[in-house]
Chains A and B, each alone.
Chain A
Amino acid sequence: MTPYSINLWPKTPINSLHIEQDLKNLDKVPKHLAVLFWGGINEKRLKEAAQLCCWAWCSGIKMLSIYNVEDDLKNNAQLLQSYIDTFSRHFFINEKFIPIIRVTALFASTKNVYSNNENSNLPDMQVNLISYADGRPRIVEVAKSLAEDVIQGKMTSDELDIEELDRRLSVPRFSEPQLLILFSPKIELEGFPPWHIHLTEIL
């Protein structure tokens, strides 16, 4: 029996107190939750994603990664951030403060796009937007850079081990998720970064 029993009540929570009720039944909450995006990118779905981010923060989740095969979710990072900001204002009306939920679109290059530049403080919850490019192609990039390092004599090929790959693949903000949720009856990973899910529970 999985420790992550999700309460599948159809009621949509209006504010954070509703979530607290549901949480009482859970044994364990993941620190890093990953989710496969549910369909094409449009305004309605982005708003749903914003809701999801707020619910996730209420549940105590520190990092949420949303995966979409194409890059168009990443291109809408600013929009998602604004929906989150709007939504959180009335969702967290009962809380003492409104949590800072920061959206980051991870790109294969080291320059990540931050959509909320106002606060330089650490966010209360980090939302990563990832796509196919962060999976196998990223591993290929790392392999190439490792090859260059070896050719240039910075390291030997024997020094290459799992820990080294772990280091290079964990883009500073994308650690391994404890739980991955798919919103479909069939389990198909659709290119979710393979390296990061070796111990992830999949629902």
Chain B
Amino acid sequence: MPSSDLTDISQNTDPSLKTTPNFLTSPISYISHHAQSLLIKILKQGPIPQHLGFIMDGNRRFARKMNYKQVVEGHFMGYDKLQEVLDICLHLGVKVVTIYAFSIENFKRPKEEVDTLMELAKNKFVELCEKSQLVNKYDVCVRILGNIALLPVDVQEAAKKAVDATKHNTGSILNICVPYTSKDEITSSIKSVIKSVENGHMQIRDINEEIIENYLYTYGSPLLDILIRTSGEIRLSDFLLWQCHKNCYIHFVNCFWPEFSLWEMLPIILEYQLNYKSLKEKRSKSGLQIASSLS
């Protein structure tokens, strides 16, 4: 028997951690909730990807499709969906989730939208370090990846606070890419490597793929297993180019981000599980190749 709380949720509660729906008041929610739990239990019997990347695309188009008064409402729905998807991923046992929150290119959007997004980011960073049930439930360490100096100062500070507040958490990692482009990440990595050479900490001949990888923002996370982009667009848009270029499955899903759910994730995880052995073999093979080229 489920707990007897009703499904009425106040505005302040984390929507992803709703109390269990009651069969009598909302049978469909109840069935759906329990089907999801069962599905997650089944998936957990097989291998689970360690690192997932998401390009959360389609918020604005979703808002237009639903005829919201303002297009930015789509971004608020997008944030709610993010909570939900994070809950699913962490429940499944994914160790690291990397999300493309804001691209450096997005600064070119209308000022009003950019300001709203920055405000949303700031509020959510504050929420993450102060009272996020998700962070507490899964012991999430929040990391902000990107050229942070490009953000408004108040957002930078909120971001730093969120990172500081969660840096000792060891349960799982949430990488929030804002503001980010992969080319910027690779460039900054190469710059750091060169500075290291300038300071005498490294020789030029030591520079190799592994070194560049160690200086990327994603250092410390396991290899990227799956990259998912919603809204049907079939581009990478400068996201995790270095990380996804081999031994990583890329999925372009044909629904807007606020419509994404466990049902869309299901075939993706299943495919990963079916191909797990061959992925592992490919990875160990390329590990050997790099080792032999280094020696």
Residues of A in contact with B (beta carbons under 8 Å apart): 1-2, 135-137, 139-140, 142-144, 146-148, 150-151, 157-158, 160-162, 165-166, 186-195, 197-203
Q: Which residue of B has the minimal Cβ distance to A136?
A: B209
Q: Does B198 contact A (CB under 8 A)?
A: yes
Residues in chain B within 8 A of chain A (CB atoms): 181-184, 186-187, 190-191, 193-195, 197-198, 204-205, 207-209, 212, 232, 234-238, 241-242, 244-252, 271, 275
Q: Are B212 and A139 in contact, with the CB atoms below 8 A?
A: yes
The 4 nearest A-B residue pairs measured at CB: A194-B241, A187-B250, A194-B245, A198-B238
| Contact call B186/A188, Cβ cutoff below 8 A | no
A147 pairs with B237, CB closer than 8 A: no
Given contact pairs A162-B184, A165-B190, A203-B234, A188 touches B241 in the complex (Cβ within 8 A):
no
Name the CB-closest residue of A to B286. Answer: A191
Partner of A189, one of B183, B193, B237, B248: B248
Asked if residues A165 and B252 are in contact (CB atoms below 8 Å), the reply is no
How far apart are the CA atoms of A202 and B236 in the complex, in Å?
A: 8
The answer to whether B209 and A189 have CB atoms under 8 Å apart is no
| Residue numbers in B under 8 Å from A191 (CB-CB) | 245-246
Query: Which chain A positions have C-beta within 8 A of B182?
Result: 194, 198
Complex alpha-carbon distance, A191 and B212, angstroms: 16
Min CB distance, B34 to chain A, in Å? 32
Q: A189 near B244 (CB under 8 angstroms)?
A: yes
Contact A143 B271 (CB under 8 A): no
A186 and B271 within 8 A (CB): yes
With A2-B234, A198-B241 as contacts: A189 and B186 at CB distance below 8 Å = no
Residues of B within 8 A of A187 (CB): 249-252
Q: Are B250 and A198 in contact (CB under 8 A)?
A: no
Check A188/B198 contact, CB under 8 A, given A136-B209, A140-B209, A162-B183.
no
- Docked-complex contact B250 and A189, CB < 8 angstroms: yes
Q: Across the two chains, which residue of chain A brings its CB closest to B244?
A: A189
**17 more A-B residue pairs beyond the given contacts A136-B209, A136-B242, A140-B208, with a C-beta to C-beta distance below 8 A:** A139-B212, A140-B207, A140-B209, A143-B190, A143-B207, A146-B190, A147-B197, A160-B191, A165-B186, A186-B249, A186-B271, A187-B249, A187-B251, A189-B246, A189-B248, A191-B245, A201-B234
Q: Which residue from chain B places its CB closest to the CB of A196 in the assembled complex?
A: B241
- Tell me whether A188 and B184 are in contact (CB under 8 A): no
Q: Is the CB of B194 within 8 A of A146?
A: yes
Closest chain B residue to A157, Cβ basis: B194
Cα of A105 to Cα of B208 in the assembled complex, Å: 24
Contacts of A189 in B (CB 8 A): 244-246, 248, 250
